[in-house]
Amino acid sequence: MELVDFNPRPRGLNPTLGELLQWVGDAQSPDITPHDHVLELGYGCTSGSSSYPFVLSFTDLTYSVEVQRKMTLVPACFKRKPNTAEVKLGMNNNSTNPNTKVLLNGISGEAREGEIMAVLGASGSGKSTLIDALADRIAKDSLKGSITLNGEALDSRLLKVISAYVMQDDLLFPMLTVEETLMFSAEFRLPRRLSKSKKKARVQALIDQLGLRNAAKTVIGDEGHRGVSGGERRRVSIGIDIIHDPIVLFLDEPTSGLDSTSAYMVVKVLQRIAQSGSIVVMSIHQPSYRILSLMDRLIFLSHGQTVYSGSPANLPVFFGEFGHPIPETENRTEFALDLIRELEETPGGTKNLVEFNKSWQITMDEQKQRENQNNLINSNCKPRLSLKDAISASISRGKLVSGAPNDSNLSSSVPTFANPSWIEIAVISKRSLTNSRRLPELFGIRLGAILVTGIILATMFWHLDDSPKGIQERLGFFAFAMSTTFYTCAEAIPVFLQERYIFMRETAYNAYRRSSYVLAHSIISIPSLAFLSIVFAATTFWAVGLAGGLHGFLFFFFTTFAAFWAGSSFVTFLSGVVTHVMLGYTVVVAVLAYFVLFSGFFISRDRIPPYWLWFHYISLVKYPYEGVLQNELDDPIKCFVRGTQMFDNSPIEAFPVAMKLKLLKSMSTTLGVNITASTCVTTGMDILKQQGITELSKWNCLWITIAWGFFFRILFYFALLLGSKNKRR
C-alpha cells in the first residue's frame, strides 16, 4: 500500500472520526488540489491493474424453515401421487425432514469493491433469501455457513454501520419533495459534527449522482397526489440509504416494476455507486441485454442451489461445455433462465447442472490460483489491508461519513448511531410536521368531528338545571363527552401503520433510535391534542352550564386533554401491535366500548360483579369520568334535590303539590326530622356516593389518566422493540 501526502498523525495512532471528516472537508475545498489526502491502494497479487480493498465472501450458506403440514381427512387410498415438480423439489432440497424446506443450500461466492454482483433466478429460487442472509436479516441460529469481509467475520453492529439495505418496495413519505427526503436522511445518517452546508452539499451531489436534478423540488406523491415517476421513486429509495456512502449496498430487486429504460438508469446509478468504492449486491429477476453489460458477477439460483457463479462473459463457455450452447442472437440471461426453468420441470431437476457448476468452479479456482502464483513471482506483492485499516482508508477517501472505528476492537468502536437522541427527536418531529402540514385535511377532519360533537352536546344539554333530572342529564353528558375524546383518537391508527415499514427500514440500519421515534411522536402530538381539548371544552362548558367558574373550566380542560392524551397513547400502542387498519379499528372500537361499559356510568362500582371489578379499574374512561363528576358535584353547599323534588322520577311526581307537602309532613313526623319544600335532601357529595365515586380525588383521577398515557407510550416502545427486529427466524 502506498500513501501520497497522507500523514495526518504520528505512526501508530489511529485517526479520530473528527479528523477524518476534516480531511474529507478539506479535500472538497477549492483551495486544495485534488491529489491532497488521497490514499492510493495497490496490490501486486491481483491479475488486473485495479485493486479491491474490500471483498465480501460467503461460504456454504444454508437456511431452512419448518413448513406446517396441513391436516387432511382424505383416506390414503384417495391421495394423489406427487407430480414431477414435487419430486424434483424434494430432490433439490436434500431435506431429510418432510416438514423442512431448504431455501438456501450451500451457497458460496464473493463480491468485490467496485463491482456489481447480481443474484438471478425464477420466483422462489432464493434470490431475496440470499440477499437477506448477506445483509444479516436472518437470525444467526437459523443461518449456517460463514460471511466475512476481508477475511474477518462481520459483527452485526459493524455491518449496520458500513452497509445499507434497499427494500423492494419504495417506502417514502408522499408529501415530501425529493430534496427534502434526501435531506432528512442526511440529518439522520450524517454526524452532527458535519455542518449544515456540508450536509446540503452531500445531498446536492447525490441528487446529481442519482440523476434527479429535474425532480428535486417535486413531491414523492401517492395514489391521491401526483408526484415523481416510478423510476425516480426507486432512485430516491436508493438515495436515502446511500446518503452516508456505505461500503456495502444490498438491494432486493431494485428494477422490479420498472420499464426497461427506468430499470437501466437505476442499474447505471448502481454502477456509479460501485465504482465510487462500494460493494453492490442485488437480486434481479430477468435483466435486459443493456443491464447485463453493467454487471460484473452473476449467481444463478434454482431452488436454493447455485447453478452458475461467475462473470457474464463466461456464460457462453459454461453452458456450451454443459451441452447447451447459447445462440449468439439470444440474450444470455434469458437463455440461461429459460434453460434452468425447463430443467426444473424434468424428473431429475437441475441436479446435473448443480454438479456441473461445482466441477466448473473447482477448475476456475485452480486456474485463478495459478495466475495468482505467477503474479507473486513477477511482482512485489504487499499484504491485503486488515478490515479495520481498510475501513479507515475508505473513510479517508470520503466514504462512510456516519462513523469510523478508532481502536482495535471494531465492534465496540463503531458508533451505533450517528447522532445523539435529541437531534434524532428534532429531525423526526420536523419531518412529521412537514408531512402533516401538507395534509391539513387529516387534522381538519378530526377538528371538525370534535367541533360538531361539541356543538351537538352544547345544544342538547343547554343550561342544565339543578333538578334530579338535571343530575341524570349531567351524568349522561359527562359519560358521552369523555368517551367521545377516546373514540375520536381512533384516527391515529393509520398514522403509524402507514409509517411502519418506513420505520422498520430506517431503524434496521440505525438511522435513529426507537426511543427517539416514540418521544418525537409523543411530543408533536401534544399541541394538536391541547388545541382539540380547548375547542371542545370552550364549546361545551358554559353552554351546558357546568359549575366551578374559571377554576372549574380549567380542570375540565385539563381532564379533557388528559383523556385525549391517554386515548391517543392507547391507540398508538395498538397500531404498533396490529398490522392492518381495519383490524386496528375493530379492536379499538371493541375495547373502548368495554371501557365505557365498566366506567361506572351504566353500573356503579358497588354493583359490578366481583369477577369483573378488575376491568373497572383498568377502564381508561373511568378516571376522567370520575374526575369531571367530582369537579361538578364536590361543592358541599350546592343542593340538587329539595323537598318535593324527591318524588320526581316516581309515580308520586304527578300528584298535586298539596298532596306532596302532606307526604313531607307525614315523613317529618315519622322520622322526627323537619322536611319542608325547601329542605335540601341530596347534595353533590350524596350523588358521588350513590355512583360509588369515593376512592379517588379529582386530582388523583387527573394524574392517573395522564399516567395511563405515559404507560401506553412505554408499551408502544416495547412493541416497536420486539416487533421490528426485521429478521427472519
Half-sphere exposure of residue 587: CA atoms within 13 angstroms, side-chain side: 16
Q: What is the pLDDT of residue 296?
A: 92
Residues 6+ apart with CB under 8 A from 477: 457, 461, 464, 540, 544
278's grid cell: 462500494
CA distance 580 to 497: 7
Last residue of a domain, one of 331, 366, 401: 366
User: Within a domain: residue 21?
Assistant: no
Instruction: Compute, in degrees rounded to 10, the torsion defined by CA atoms 186, 495, 702, 526.
Output: 40
323's grid cell: 451441452
* Coil vs helix vs strand at 642: strand
CB contact at 8 A, 567 and 485: yes
Half-sphere exposure of residue 538: CA atoms within 13 angstroms, side-chain side: 7
**Helical residues (DSSP H) of 379-492, grouped into ranges:** 387-396, 410-413, 421-437, 440-460, 468-487
CA distance 556 to 630: 10
CA distance 429 to 463: 42
Q: Please check whether residues 612 and 547 belong to one and the same domain.
A: yes
Type and span of the H or E element at 248: strand 248-252
User: Within a domain: residue 409?
Assistant: no
CA distance 200 to 243: 11
Closest to 135 in 3D by CA, of 188, 63, 197, 230: 63
CB contact at 8 A, 196 and 255: no
User: Within a domain: residue 89?
Assistant: no
Residues 6+ apart with CB under 8 A from 49: none
Closest to 599 in 3D by CA, of 580, 585, 618: 618
CB contact at 8 A, 579 and 492: no
> Which residues form the domain of 347?
55-65+98-366
* Coil vs helix vs strand at 244: coil
CA distance 178 to 215: 7
N- to C-terminal Cα distance for the chain?
A: 42
Q: Please check whether residues 556 and 482 belong to one and the same domain.
A: yes
Q: Please check whether residues 425 and 362 belong to one and the same domain.
A: no
Q: What is the pLDDT of residue 729?
A: 63
User: Within a domain: residue 414?
Assistant: no
Residues 6+ apart with CB under 8 A from 144: 60, 61, 62, 63
Q: How far is CA 360 from the centre of its chain?
A: 43
CA distance 280 to 276: 11
Half-sphere exposure of residue 412: CA atoms within 13 angstroms, side-chain side: 3
What is 508-554 written as a DSSP string?
A: HTTSS-HHHHHHHHHHHHHHHHHHHHHHHHHHHHHHHT-SSHHHHHH
Q: Please check whether residues 341 and 433 belong to one and the same domain.
A: no
Last residue of a domain, one of 366, 400, 432: 366
CA distance 386 to 597: 66
Q: What is the pLDDT of residue 29?
A: 42
- For 529-565, write each residue's pLDDT tens digit: 999 999 999 999 999 999 889 999 999 999 999 999 9
User: Within a domain: residue 410?
Assistant: no
CA distance 110 to 222: 38
User: Within a domain: residue 494?
Assistant: yes
CA distance 704 to 66: 46
Beta carbons within 10 angstroms of residue 266's beta carbon: 24
Q: Please check whether residues 427 and 521 belong to one and the same domain.
A: yes
CA distance 686 to 447: 37
CB contact at 8 A, 644 and 667: no
Instruction: Compute, in degrees rounded to 10, the torsion defined by CA atoms 8, 13, 16, 22.
Output: 0
Unique residue bearing C-alpha cell 479535500: 27
CA distance 52 to 275: 11
User: What is the side-by-side strand order in the sheet with 55-66?
Assistant: 100-112, 55-66, 143-149, 152-153
347's grid cell: 424428473
Q: Please check whether residues 350 and 468 belong to one and the same domain.
A: no
CA distance 190 to 192: 7
Residues 6+ apart with CB under 8 A from 648: 467, 468, 469, 641
CA distance 654 to 651: 6
User: Within a domain: residue 403?
Assistant: no
Q: Please check whether residues 438 and 319 belong to one and the same domain.
A: no
User: What backbone torsions phi and psi does residue 480 show, to the nearest 5 degrees?
Assistant: -70, -40
Residues of the chain with pLDDT under 70: 1-52, 68-98, 372-385, 398-415, 724-729
Domain count, the chain: 2
Instruction: Compute, in degrees rounded to 10, the torsion defined by CA atoms 21, 23, 25, 29.
Output: 180
Q: Please check whether residues 343 and 488 belong to one and the same domain.
A: no
CATH number at residue 138: 3.40.50.300
pTM score, whole prediction: 0.79
Q: Please check whether residues 538 and 620 belong to one and the same domain.
A: yes
CA distance 194 to 106: 44
436's grid cell: 402533516
Q: What is the pLDDT of residue 499?
A: 85
Q: What is the pLDDT of residue 377?
A: 56
* Coil vs helix vs strand at 104: strand
Q: Please check whether residues 471 and 587 belong to one and the same domain.
A: yes
Last residue of a domain, one of 345, 366, 387: 366
Q: Please check whether residues 542 and 457 belong to one and the same domain.
A: yes
Q: Please check whether residues 222 and 291 belong to one and the same domain.
A: yes
Closest to 676 in 3D by CA, of 687, 665, 685: 665
CB contact at 8 A, 403 and 167: no
Rg over alpha carbons for the chain, rounded to the nearest Å, is 35
CB contact at 8 A, 247 and 163: yes
Cα maximum dimension of the chain = 126
User: Within a domain: residue 705?
Assistant: yes
Secondary structure of 268-303 in the HEC alphabet?
HHHHHHHHCCCEEEEECCCCCHHHHCCCCEEEEEEC
Sequence letter at residue 709: G
